Structures are given as structure tokens and as C-alpha cells.
Amino acid sequence: MKSPLWTLLILVLLLMAVVAPFSALAMLMLFTLVSVFVWAFWTFIRTLFAGDAT
């Protein structure tokens, strides 16, 4: 019978194993890049539906 503490520890170790290849800087750069793409795409769609290409 496993205790919740061991289950939580295993989950944390698995999460660390997944995140380990990526440094914090790489994650920050990826987040910034995705944010810029989403903002540009949203602006393009908004101007497209507004019919205002200025």
C-alpha cells in the first residue's frame, strides 16, 4: 500500500524528468515566441474581419 507522499514524489520526479532537457531560459524564450505569434495572429484576424487593412 503506497502512501500519498510516495505517489506525489514519483509524480514530481516524472515531471522533472520531462522538464529537465529544457532550461528555464529555453522555456521563457519559447513562451515569448508563442505569445508573439498568438498576438500577431489575433491582430491579423481582427483586422481581417474589421475590413480595415490600415
Nearest Cα to Cα of residue 49 among 38, 41, 39, 36: 41
Q: Tell whether 46 is covered by a domain.
A: yes
Whether 11 is covered by a domain: the verdict is no
Q: Is residue 44 part of a domain?
A: yes
Q: Please give the Cα distance from 36 to 43 (Å, whole number).
A: 11
Find the domain containing 46 and state its range. Answer: 22-54
pLDDT at 35: 93
Over residues 1-54, the pLDDT tens digits come to 567 888 888 888 888 777 766 677 777 787 888 999 999 999 988 888 887 655
Residue 52: inside a domain: yes
CA distances from 47 to 22, 30, 34, 35, 42 (A): 36, 26, 20, 18, 9
pLDDT score for 53: 55
Q: What is the pLDDT of residue 7?
A: 86
What is the pLDDT at residue 20? 67
Give the separation between CA 51 and CA 12, rounded to whole angstroms: 49
| Residue 6 maps to a domain | no
Query: Domain total for the chain?
Result: 1
